[in-house]
């Protein structure tokens, strides 16, 4: 079989080189000479096969008779289907009748995808997709480099993040005192309005979802009160603040927050012992696990809880004002200072220090008493971190943006100066997250 293929191929070569006449005369001459004629006729097929194998065609695939592979896409998602989940594993396969499929090339046209070809040896690819219509094309490549000239295609719709509802503020502080909780929410509202953000969505986590309700990520959800709400991924930025009044819910929603940031959402977390809500335990200064949300996504390497009576946080970044405390020094002793639990936050290399504890240790020596208001253990250490990736932005403050506590019949409000905090809210939402006041 191979000898015949060599004969035919050499025939084409002889014709193209105009050697037909010389070849015929050579055969006649060899046939007339005995006994060498028999040997020559036996060797001729092998010689022709050898010559044929050394031909270098201009098209490796087609000159050897190579057939290009075929490509097929998995039935899921169906052609023209709508509201597919934003997490999709798109699968395909190839078939090569005269060889093997070496790799696949795919391209996706849709929100955030630019329809360029990508190569992979795998028969699948995992995607997290924004809301909208997509067209997938896949083509197989065989071991000779031949490419399927008619790629398989599939058009489908994804119900994914829209980020079109602006800012979401989540109260995740389970304050036992309802009056203090209401007062805190009013302080937060005042802070947002004074910063220029009059239109934002507010969730009280405990009232809406309790401790077991799963928050909707895309589309619409219905809360415990029977009210419909937009899923988490409808909002371009989230302010999530926690407290010490009980179990918080950041860690329960870690997967949703990871999806949210992977897709481009911005997250600002603050609160009293905020790391307790993320880690499920009080931060003790140990290194955080590499794959945990605070370390992998928020770039916090270590954290440690601090119970302090603070006087000032110092900014490390241009545009941010220093924050001094708002409490009024009482006239009847030191026990009524507004004490607060904060978190010292040590960043990874990619994280940037936004605020640090004051280097000054303020000592109150009135009435013949001496007391350090800031512990030297935390002086100068970081308390707020920001991180900017190509996909999302994050800010973590180890102190609360707002605080209301009742001592006897008196309320003491924000641990930090409200006027200065207004500037911080504006700086983070506008210059870090790109939100427009409205």
Residues 100 and 140: their CA atoms lie apart, in Å, by 10
Segment (H or E) for 288: none
In the structure encoding, which two tokens stand for residue 1, read together?
Answer: 């079989």
Query: Is omega for the bond preceding 35 within 30 degrees of 0, making it cis?
Result: yes
pLDDT of residue 276: 84
Q: Which among 183-187, 240-244, 352-356 has the top mean pLDDT?
A: 352-356
The CA-based diameter of the chain, rounded to the nearest angstrom, is 134
Q: How far apart are CA 365 and CA 387, in angstroms?
A: 40
| Structure-token match 């809210």, residue found | 425
Spell out the alpha helix ranges (H) of 157-198.
178-194
Q: Could you read off the pLDDT of 50-92 as tens digits, one per residue? A: 333 333 334 444 445 789 999 999 999 999 999 999 999 999 9
Domains observed in the chain: 2-55 (no CATH), 70-159 (2.60.40.10), 167-432 (3.40.50.880)
- Which pLDDT belongs to residue 52? 37
Q: How much of the chain exceeds pLDDT 90, in percent?
A: 53
CA dist., res. 210 & res. 250, Å (int): 13
Q: What is the pTM of this model?
A: 0.77
Instruction: Answer whether residue 301 shows pLDDT above 50.
Output: yes
User: What is the tens place of the pLDDT at every residue in 329-355?
Assistant: 444 444 445 567 889 999 999 999 999
Could you tell me the sign of the dihedral formed by the alpha carbons of 173, 184, 331, 419, in that order? positive
Could you give the CA distance from residue 184 to residue 171 in angstroms, rounded to a whole number? 9
Contact 344, 304 (CB under 8 A): yes
Give me the phi and psi of 300, to 5 degrees please. -105, 120
Going by pLDDT thresholds of 50, 70 and 90, the confidence category of residue 42 is very low
Going by C-beta distance under 8 Å and a sequence separation of 6 or more, which residues neighbour residue 255? Answer: none
The model's pLDDT over 200-221, given as tens digits with 9 standing for 90+, comes to: 999 999 889 886 667 899 999 9
What is the spatial distance between Cα 299 and Cα 396, in angstroms, rounded to a whole number?
A: 10
Q: For residue 270, what pLDDT is reported?
A: 93
Per-residue pLDDT tens digits for 379-410: 889 999 999 999 999 999 998 888 776 665 66
């Amino acid at each position: 079989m191979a000898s015949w293929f060599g004969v035919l191929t050499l025939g084409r070569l002889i014709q193209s080189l105009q050697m037909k006449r010389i070849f015929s005369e050579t055969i006649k001459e060899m046939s007339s000479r005995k006994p060498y004629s028999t040997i020559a006729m036996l060797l001729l097929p092998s010689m022709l096969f050898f010559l044929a194998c050394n031909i270098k065609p201009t098209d490796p695939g087609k000159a050897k008779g190579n057939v290009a592979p075929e490509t097929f896409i998995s039935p899921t998602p169906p052609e023209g289907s709508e509201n597919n989940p934003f997490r999709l594993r798109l699968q395909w396969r190839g078939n090569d009748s005269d060889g093997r499929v070496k790799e696949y090339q795919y391209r996706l046209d849709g929100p955030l995808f630019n329809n360029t070809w990508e190569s992979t040896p795998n028969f699948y690819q995992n995607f997290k997709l924004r809301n909208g219509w997509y067209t997938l094309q896949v083509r197989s490549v065989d071991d000779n480099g031949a490419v399927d000239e008619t790629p398989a295609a599939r058009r489908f719709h994804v119900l994914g993040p829209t980020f079109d509802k602006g800012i979401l503020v989540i109260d995740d502080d389970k304050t036992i005192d309802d009056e203090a909780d209401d007062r805190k929410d009013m302080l937060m509202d005042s802070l947002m309005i004074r910063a220029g953000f009059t239109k934002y969505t507010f969730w009280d986590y405990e009232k809406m979802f309790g401790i077991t309700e799963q928050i909707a990520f895309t589309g619409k959800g219905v809360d415990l009160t029977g009210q419909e709400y937009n899923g988490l991924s409808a909002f371009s930025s989230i302010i999530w603040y926690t407290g010490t009044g009980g179990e918080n819910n950041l860690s329960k929603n870690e997967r949703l927050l990871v999806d949210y940031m992977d897709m481009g959402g911005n997250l600002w977390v603050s609160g009293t012992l905020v790391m307790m809500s993320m880690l499920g335990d009080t931060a003790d200064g140990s290194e955080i696990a590499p794959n945990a949300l605070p370390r992998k996504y928020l770039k916090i390497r270590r954290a440690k809880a601090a119970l302090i009576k603070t006087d000032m946080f110092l900014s490390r970044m241009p545009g941010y004002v220093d924050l001094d405390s708002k409490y009024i020094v009482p006239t009847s002793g030191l026990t009524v200072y507004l004490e607060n639990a904060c978190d010292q936050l040590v960043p990874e290399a990619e994280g940037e220090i936004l605020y640090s504890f004051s280097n000054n240790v303020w000592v109150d020596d009135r009435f013949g008493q001496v007391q350090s208001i800031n512990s030297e253990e935390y002086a100068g250490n970081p308390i707020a971190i920001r991180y900017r990736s190509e996909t999302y932005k994050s800010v973590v403050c180890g102190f609360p943006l707002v605080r209301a506590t009742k001592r006897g019949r008196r309320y003491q409000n924000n641990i930090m100066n409200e006027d200065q905090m207004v500037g911080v809210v504006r700086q983070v939402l506008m210059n870090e997250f790109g939100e427009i006041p409205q």
